[in-house]
Structure 1
Amino acid sequence: MIFKVVVTPDPEDGGFTVSCPALPGCHSEGETLEEALENIRDAIAGCVAVLNERDRTTAIY
């Protein structure tokens, strides 16, 4: 799956924050752009895993 992310430089700390608009609440940060992108990949994987688990545990009547 491909997700678009929004990268925002943090002028105060010098790092980056990253969010994934398709997954509300899914965000991360990093000191470098590369680190921030690696971290958001991990965060997206975690969010998708939680959503998949919720789908499996939801009973349909």
Structure 2
Amino acid sequence: MRHLKYVVFQEGKYFVSQCLNVDVSSFGSTIDEAVSNLKEAVALYFENEVGDQHYLHVGDALIGETVINA
């Protein structure tokens, strides 16, 4: 069993879910669907993965927003 951290954001009419532990993302029409699809995608990712070589333990997570002049 692995503990996953993720973020969800809206992009157009879809919600995008991005895992912070591995480089996997998914989407759905609702937040719940996006999270469910992400869980399935990460499970499939680990079926083909050997060991924990790409798994990053993520402790507390903070989502921030800022503005830059670019």
Aligned to 1:59: none
Number of matched pairs: 50
Name the aligned partner's letter for residue 32 of structure 1. Answer: T
Unaligned 5+ segments in structure 2 are 52-70
**C-alpha distance in structure 2 between counterparts of 1:23 and 1:15, whole Å:** 21
Unaligned 5+ segments in structure 1 are 56-61
Identity %, equivalent residues? 26
Aligned to 2:20: 21
Root mean square deviation, CA, Å: 1.2
Normalised by the length of structure 2, the TM-score is: 0.64
| Runs of 4 or more consecutive aligned structure 1 residues displaced over 2 Å after TM superposition | none
Normalised by the length of structure 1, the TM-score is: 0.72
